[in-house]
Structure 1
């Protein structure tokens, strides 16, 4: 396996999980609300990227936004009740694996039969992936980071 991830890899889940874990650590240290700039500093990315991610998380009820004095973001529910599956569903709307964008050659024996076979395998892989994410919470991730 390569030391660097492919450029096309979807990092939205990673950025969102990082943001939520940082927000939970800040909460434990007495800071209920963080600005997008404070979260961006931890993730080491632009605050615009963080605001987009936090917006997705807010629409899913995983974070709350506060306006005006003391503006910023806080967890929408306890970190122990936010699974990584919740995070994935909030920020990654596309399927884990996809079939051809165009119909394969139906005159070819492989082209004729590949879609239903791969669809079944992809569904099984996605179910396994989702189950693995559902077993870990943001609190679990933070505990592993801190240990």
Structure 2
């Protein structure tokens, strides 16, 4: 199941795009309304995915490493979401239960289809589109 990490990561990147300048983890945490430690952990994955650049020190901070139009939500998802949307039950199959015998196979197909649909949808949305929504008057 997708957790808050994805939502927080998208929020971080959108805040960076909106600001157009380096932001430190304190400022990002205030925007997301979470602890700076949570932000710093997410920044690691985003940096490994080459979506951001970070600089340490007094004048350090984080900024986007690409233009918002070049960052898809799928890239963000892949950077911070290690598990699939639907997890398959890996427990021992009960041989005397017909349902137990078939569910892994059945749900594997459901999970694969769901994951592909999610990935396709996220592939079509860019950070630039989200930024446009943020800038739209209320």
Please indicate the TM-score interval, normalised by the length of the shorter structure.
over 0.9
1:7-36 Cα deviation digits (max 9, x unpaired): x96110110000000000110xxxx21101
**2:104 maps to which residue?**
115
Say yes or no: does 1:138 pair with 2:127: yes
- Quote the residue 1:74 is aligned against: 63
Measured on the aligned residues, the alpha-carbon RMSD in Å equals 1.4
Distance in 1 of aligned mates of 2:105 and 2:55: 47
Which structure would you say has the larger RCO, counting Cα contacts within 8 Å and 6 or more residues apart? 2
Q: Secondary structure of the residue that 2:75 maps to in structure 1?
A: helix
CA distance in 1, matches of 2:58, 2:3: 34
Question: What TM-score does the superposition give when structure 1 sets the normalisation length?
Answer: 0.87
Misfit runs of 4+, over 4 Å: none
Please, what TM-score do these two structures have when normalized by structure 2? 0.93
- Equivalent position to 1:14, from 7, 25, 28: 7
Count of residues paired in the alignment? 136
For structure 1, the residue ranges without an aligned partner over 5 or more in a row are 1-7
Do residues 37 (structure 1) and 37 (structure 2) align?
Answer: no
CA distance in 2, matches of 1:22, 1:84: 14
